[in-house]
């Protein structure tokens, strides 16, 4: 029997301690499941990246704005702001 990490690794890639998938949905459970603000922000940033790569820029923008609102004043909020600019959105 495979662990969840092994299963997810077969479906995507493992980076920086996160298991990601091509579409990013798996990462969306982190903020609602765990009370670790830094990890939640990173998960949302990675999910936004995956969504953007899958031509779902509208959903990516929503997540990036959420990072900016929920994690204002952090490096994660600055990264979200930069990614919004890269997507051609105002922050």
Residues in CB range of 73: below 8 A, 6 or more apart: none
Q: Where are the domains of the chain?
A: 4-86
What is the rounded distance in angstroms from the CA atom of residue 13 to the CA atom of residue 34?
Answer: 21
Confidence (pLDDT) at 71: 94
Does 10 or 16 have the greater pLDDT score? 10
Confidence (pLDDT) at 26: 76
What is the rounded distance in angstroms from the CA atom of residue 80 to the CA atom of residue 60?
Answer: 10
Does 11 or 22 have the greater pLDDT score? 22
* pLDDT(5) > 60: no
pLDDT bin (cut points 50, 70, 90) of residue 25 is: confident
Does 42 or 26 have the greater pLDDT score? 42
Q: How far apart are the first and last CA of the chain?
A: 45
- Smallest CA-to-CA distance from 71 within 31, 34, 33 is with 31
């Amino acid at each position: 029997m495979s662990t969840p990490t092994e299963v997810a690794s077969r479906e995507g890639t493992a980076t920086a301690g996160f298991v990601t998938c091509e579409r990013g949905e798996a990462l969306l459970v982190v903020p609602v499941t765990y009370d670790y603000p830094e990890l939640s922000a990173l998960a949302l940033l990675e999910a936004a990246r995956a969504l953007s790569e899958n031509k779902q820029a509208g959903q990516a923008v929503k997540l990036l704005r959420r990072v900016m609102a929920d994690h204002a004043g952090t490096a994660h909020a600055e990264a979200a702001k930069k990614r919004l600019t890269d997507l051609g959105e105002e922050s």
